[in-house]
Structures are given as structure tokens and as C-alpha cells.
Amino acid sequence: MSATLIWIGVAAAMCLLAPVAYSLLKRSAADVQPRLWFSIHVTGSLIGACLAIIHSGGQLLSPPGVLLVLLVATMILGGWIRLTGSTGFAHRMGARPNAFIARNSQNRQTLRELIDAKIDLLGRLEPAASEALFSPQLKHWLDKPLMSARYLRLMEKERQMSGARVDAGALVAWSRRIHMGLGALFVAGLAIHIGVALYRILSGGVP
């Protein structure tokens, strides 16, 4: 691989860090413009993907080529969410009329117990917070990851009981999470790819 292609790969990796930065910054309480960073993550991904394709030299069947496929899949899904999935979000308005009419006393009892459990756990996770408004942020994940995970599980359980996510349909409900999952996989793969390449370079071999 030529030096030019290597440097293009480096540039691609830099660009593809933009989504990572976006994801972290918007959860970090940093004073940023989330919408601006959303645009940066889209732009960075697009430029990064183009550079990565050049960097690959068309060798898609190689192990790093799988990374490229992953990247493209992540981007296609991201594009779909923006162009089509967002319409699915819009259609959720007014999509749950029975929530206003039907009653389920049993559900209420189970929910009450769940909320009590959340309040109890929150007393240890973030004592000053109100359960009504709280969800774990980046700092909680860094400080108390297990407790945060337990809290998140209770939140998800409450959410499941409302049925809203299920009602939205799999694509609308899960596409963003799949997009994030694919992105995370890609970033992990990219890190391995860079690690292997660096190792080879440092070993005097050809990356």
C-alpha cells in the first residue's frame, strides 16, 4: 500500500471519529450545539467513508474490507433513518388512542412497584435527582456503571410496559439502536485495524 493511501486512511479514520465525538459530546454535558454536531457527524461520516473507499484500493474481500462493508451498512441505515424513519417518528403522533381510554389496574400496580424500585435505586445512584426526570448520563456510566445498568434495565422495563416502542414497529423503534450498534462495531473494528496496521509498521512490515 502506498504512503498516499496510508495517509488517506489516516484522514478517513480522523473523519470517522466525528460520529464518536458527537455521540460522546451530546451525552457529556459539554457546552456544545448538538444539532451542529449532528451535522458534523453526518458530514464526517460521508467524507470518511469516501476516503476509506479510496484507502481500501477496492480490496473489499480482505478482513479490513469487512469493516468498509460495516461502515457502508451503518451509513445506509443512518440515511434511511433520516430520510424515511423520521417520517415514521412523525406518524407516531396520535397513534395510541387507547392510552386515553382503556384502563388496566393490574398494570398500574406492577408499575407502582417498578417506580418504587427505581426511586430506591436512585437514592444510591444520584440522591439529589428526581425519578420523574432522571435517566443515567455519561458521568453515571463512568462512576457507577453497574448501578446505572440496573437503573437502565428498570427504565426499559417500564418502557416495555407502556408498549409504545413495540407499537412503533421494529424499524422505527430499533433502527437507531441498530445504527448505533453497527457504528460501535465499526469503531471497534477500526481500532483493531489501526492497531494491526501500527503493529505491522512498527514491525517493519507492510501495513
Partner 1 sequence: MSERLALRIDLERCIGCKSCEAACKQEHGLTPGAYRTKVLWLEDSRPEVSPPTLFLPVMCQHCERPACLRACPVNPKIISRDEETGVVSVDQDRCTGCGECVTACPYGAMGFDAGENKAVKCNLCAERRADGMIPACASVCPGKAITFGNRSDLAAEAEAMGREVIDHDDYLLSPGTVYLAPVGGLETREAHGPVIHEPAVAEGKPRRSDAEYPYGAERQDRQIDRVVPGGCNICFNACTLKFHFSGERIVRITGNEEDPVLGGRICPKSQMTLQAYENKERLRSPLRRTGKRGEGKFEPVSWDEALDDIAARLCKIRDEYGSEALGIFSGTRSGIMTNRGYVRLFSQLWGTPNVETTETLCASGKNVAYQLTQGSLAIANSYTPDDIGSAEAYVYVGDNQAETRPVHFGMVNDWRLQSNARLIVVDPRRTVTATKADEWLAIRTGTDMALGLAVAYHILDEGLQDHAFCENWILGFEDWRQFILAEKYSPDWAAPITDIPTTEIRKLAEIIASADGCMIFASRGVNQHTNSVQTNRVWMYVAAITGNWGRKGGGYFNMSSASLIHPNVPDNRRAPIERPMVRRNPTGWIAAMTRGRPYPVKALICGNNPMAQWPAQEQAREAFQSLELLVHMDIFENETSAFADYVLPIANGVERGGISRADEDRRIVWNDPLIKPPGEARSDGWIWIELGKRLGYGDVLKDAYKDPATFWDEICIDTEELRGCTTRRMKARPYRWVRAPLPSEEAKEIETLYLEGSEAIGAPGKRFPTQSGRLEFRTPAIANKFTKLGLPDLPQFFSEQEQLVDLPVLELLDEDDNEGTLSPFAPAPTFVSRARIKPPGNLSRAAELRAAGFDMELVTGRPPAPHFHSWTHSFWQAQEMWPHLFAQIHPSRASALGISDGEKIAIETAYGRIEAMAWLTPGIRETSIFVPIGWGEKQRFHPWRSVNFLTDQTQRDVISEQVNLKTLLCKVSRV
Query: Contact positions toward partner 1, by CB under 8 A?
Result: 26-29, 33-35, 37-38, 82, 85-87, 89-104, 107-108, 111-112, 115, 131-135, 137-138, 155, 159, 161-165, 167-168, 172-173, 176
The span from the CA of 163 to the CA of 85, in Å, is: 19
We find the least distance from the C-beta atom of residue 113 to partner 1, in angstroms, to be 11
Q: Are 29 and 140 in contact (CB under 8 A)?
A: no
C-alpha cell at position 191: 481500532
First to last CA, the chain: 7
One-letter identity of residue 146: L
Nearer to partner 1, 29 or 69 (CB): 29
We find the least distance from the C-beta atom of residue 46 to partner 1, in angstroms, to be 16
Burial (CB < 10 A; 0-12, 13-18, 19+), residue 15, is buried
One-letter identity of residue 4: T
C-alpha cell at position 148: 446505572
Nearer to partner 1, 99 or 198 (CB): 99
Nearer to partner 1, 82 or 200 (CB): 82
Nearer to partner 1, 103 or 206 (CB): 103
CB atoms within 10 A of CB 2: 8
We find the least distance from the C-beta atom of residue 190 to partner 1, in angstroms, to be 23
Write the CA distances from 189 to 2, 11, 196, integer angstroms.
Answer: 22, 16, 10
We find the least distance from the C-beta atom of residue 157 to partner 1, in angstroms, to be 13
Q: Are 138 and 28 in contact (CB under 8 A)?
A: yes
We find the least distance from the C-beta atom of residue 167 to partner 1, in angstroms, to be 8
Nearer to partner 1, 128 or 206 (CB): 128
We find the least distance from the C-beta atom of residue 192 to partner 1, in angstroms, to be 27
One-letter identity of residue 99: A
Nearer to partner 1, 179 or 193 (CB): 179
